[in-house]
Amino acid sequence: MTPVTRETQQYANHVYRARAWSITSLIALLVVLALAFHAYQEPTYVSFALLVLAGVVVAALSLLRMFAIRLQNRIIRLEMQVRLVRLGRERDLLRLTLPQLIALRFASESELPALIDRAIAERMTPDAIKRAIRDWQGDYFRT
């Protein structure tokens, strides 16, 4: 199922960066800098409290993003485990690193076994794995 609003995914355009996240992060950073400048200019309890609060908010948002990515990685690992079991290659799950598994998710069922063998034998990097994929299967749900 491909969303109508996104173009067909392939190696050249598979990296997804949420525009709203980038804009929000930039604004948060600017607010922290402005509050730091204000605390420097007027070193009061309130100005330092606001600076600390802004720092905590930025840290909390960063942690939320990190937790979401970790959860997605666990889901991808589970998805790949199911695919490997279906192909009779469950033993390879322990021989592949998580970044390799995440890269292999883009491979079609027909090219996955050979690509797994190459990834293990050549200790391919995730980028090298993605470049080796010929029948790209897009991941349109990663955020």
What single-letter amino acid sits at 81? Q
- Quick one: which H or E segment has residue 51? helix 45-86
Residue 3's pLDDT is: 47
Rounded mean pLDDT, 4-13: 67
Euclidean distance between CA atoms 126 and 28, whole angstroms: 31
Whether the predicted model's global pTM rises above the 0.85 cut: no
**What's the Cα-to-Cα distance from 36 to each of 17, 40, 43, 100, 136, rounded to whole Å?**
28, 6, 10, 41, 47
- Residue 19 — very low, low, confident or very high, per pLDDT cuts 50/70/90? confident
- Residue 79 — very low, low, confident or very high, per pLDDT cuts 50/70/90? very high
Neighbours of 48 (CB within 10 A): 15
- The pLDDT tens digits for 22-75 are 899 899 999 999 999 999 999 999 999 999 999 999 999 899 989 999 999 999
